[in-house]
Amino acid sequence: MSFSIDKLTMTKHCLVVLSLLATSISIAKADEIATTSVVAANTVDVIGETSEEQPSIFKLSGFGTFVLSHSSQGLGDYVLDSTVPKGTGRSQNWAMSNDSRLGLQVSANFSPKISAVLQVISEFQADGTYRPAVEWGNIKYAFTPDSYIRVGRISLPTFLYSDTRKVGYSYPWIRPPAELYRQLTLTSSDGIDAGYRFEMGEVGNTIKLLYGSNIIDRPTSISTSRDLWGIFDKLEYDSTTFSLGYQKRIASSQSLINGIQGAWIPNYDLSAGVSYDPGNWFAVAEWIQRQSTTKTGAMYVSTGVRLDTLTPYITYSQNSRSSFIPGFPAPTVASIQNSKRSQSTVSLGLRWDFTRNMDIELQYDRVKLGDNSNGYLTNVPAGVTLYGSTFHVISVGVNFVF
């Protein structure tokens, strides 16, 4: 009985993926036509001094990722984000909800100094739907080509891949390492930021300052962050990039079950990353520390080789148990249990850039849960302990940009 349901669900999922794939290909095809007209418009723009025609102000671009994942652990759901209600494992045999999303962006260049961007993303939400939401939308004023301010909903580069984690095409993996990136769900800030880029000899330096707020929906609560401050710096020398980030905010959660607003707690996020990418191979490592009422650390290292259109890679990532910060009210039973969550993953994967602007990826993850917790598995039935156990996740996906 359960077999036939699984099979039916799988067939349904396969059909959905296939039709999405077909749509994405037709979008990509349509884009070729669109690109041609953009090229024509741009030609007019550059040669515009002698031409009467108007250059195009608006530009449409987009990205998409469709990934099917299967987890061998049937007693809990493997999810990458605390905002989503379910995933592969206990709730679904195969799920596309972890990494699949579609993004559309309209950019507008009103003048060399004034531009605007609006990005809408459809992905699996707290309410269990793929309802599209505005990821970011802001107006930018460039004082010079190297300095700007932006106002609106702005990307939040807290960690190395925080602001690009939804654009699957832009990194080699199926997803940025879960142990580190599931520590922070925030990807945007409503407010203002300023950026400045300068060269010091051979070293390029980009610095960003940010102030704003953020609200995110979770399955049973709403999290609000205010007084969100960030300073982010990126140093580039030859093929090496160093990045440092520091972010501070005051956050509180309101329960959707009883309406109670939790205490406002200061949160600190610190990140240090380094990547080396001379072209035919790459290596990247990142370390972060998060602090609210507890302190948690996470890190990963990853390397891969680019063999023409194939990129095999390997990643190791882990997070540490949390320690309680003195000075807060005594922790609850639930928060003590949450503080014990830790896990590590070894991932092996292969990316195949089979055509321009599109790739296929296959990834295997071996996830080991910490000795005193069920790690970040969700929907584990009460009383079930999977402490110290290992499970396997296999994912296959396609990415595109246009």
Partner 1 sequence: MKSPKTLLHCLTFTLLLAATIASADASADVVIVVSVKNPISSITAEQASKIFLGKVTTFPNGDNAIPVDQAENAIKDEFYAKVAHKNPAQLTAYWAKIIFTGDGQPPQRLENNIAVKKAIANNPKTIGYIDSNAVDSSVKIVLTP
What residue ranges bind partner 1 (CB under 8 A)?
A: 35, 38-40, 42-43, 45-47, 49-50, 59, 61, 63, 103, 105, 107, 109, 117, 119, 136, 138, 140, 144-146, 150, 154-155, 157, 163-164, 166-167, 169-171, 195, 197, 199, 202, 204, 236, 238-239, 278-280, 306-309, 353, 356-357, 359, 401
In angstroms, give the least distance from the CB of 137 to partner 1: 9
In angstroms, give the least distance from the CB of 120 to partner 1: 12
Residue 282 in 3-state DSSP?
Answer: strand
User: CA torsion, points 378, 384, 390, 395, in degrees to nearest 10?
Assistant: -30
Cβ-based nearer residue to partner 1, 160 or 178: 160
Alpha carbon distances (Å) from 10 to 93, 94, 206: 8, 7, 46
In angstroms, give the least distance from the CB of 153 to partner 1: 10
Cβ-based nearer residue to partner 1, 170 or 261: 170
In angstroms, give the least distance from the CB of 159 to partner 1: 13
Cβ-based nearer residue to partner 1, 174 or 251: 174
In angstroms, give the least distance from the CB of 117 to partner 1: 4
Cβ-based nearer residue to partner 1, 208 or 218: 208
| Cα–Cα distance measured from residue 161 to residue 234, given in angstroms and rounded to the nearest whole number | 13
CA angle 213, 185, 369 (to 5 degrees): 150
Q: Are 125 and 83 in contact (CB under 8 A)?
A: yes
Phi and psi at 12, nearest 5°, equal: -60, -45
Cβ-based nearer residue to partner 1, 18 or 305: 305
Cβ-based nearer residue to partner 1, 180 or 377: 180
In angstroms, give the least distance from the CB of 206 to partner 1: 9
In angstroms, give the least distance from the CB of 342 to partner 1: 30
Q: Are 233 and 157 in contact (CB under 8 A)?
A: no
Cβ-based nearer residue to partner 1, 171 or 300: 171
Of the candidates 139, 132, 130, 58, which has an alpha carbon nearest to the alpha carbon of residue 96? 130
In angstroms, give the least distance from the CB of 111 to partner 1: 14
CA angle 345, 349, 355 (to 5 degrees): 150
* Those residues with Cβ within 8 angstroms of residue 126's Cβ, 6 or more apart along the chain or in another chain: 83, 84, 85, 217, 218, 219
| Cα–Cα distance measured from residue 88 to residue 76, given in angstroms and rounded to the nearest whole number | 8
| Cα–Cα distance measured from residue 397 to residue 139, given in angstroms and rounded to the nearest whole number | 34
3-state secondary structure string, 144-205? Answer: ECCEEEEEEEEECCCCCCCCCCCCHHHCCCCCCCHHHHCCCCCCEEEEEEEEEEEEECCEEE
Cβ-based nearer residue to partner 1, 182 or 234: 234
In angstroms, give the least distance from the CB of 166 to partner 1: 8
Round to the nearest angstrom and report the end-to-end CA distance of the chain: 43
In angstroms, give the least distance from the CB of 328 to partner 1: 35
Torsion sign, CA atoms 96, 99, 100, 101: positive
Q: CB atoms < 10 A from the CB of 342, how many?
A: 22
| Cα–Cα distance measured from residue 45 to residue 33, given in angstroms and rounded to the nearest whole number | 19
Cβ-based nearer residue to partner 1, 188 or 395: 188
Cβ-based nearer residue to partner 1, 206 or 372: 206
Q: How many helices (H) and strands (E) does the chain have?
A: 3, 18
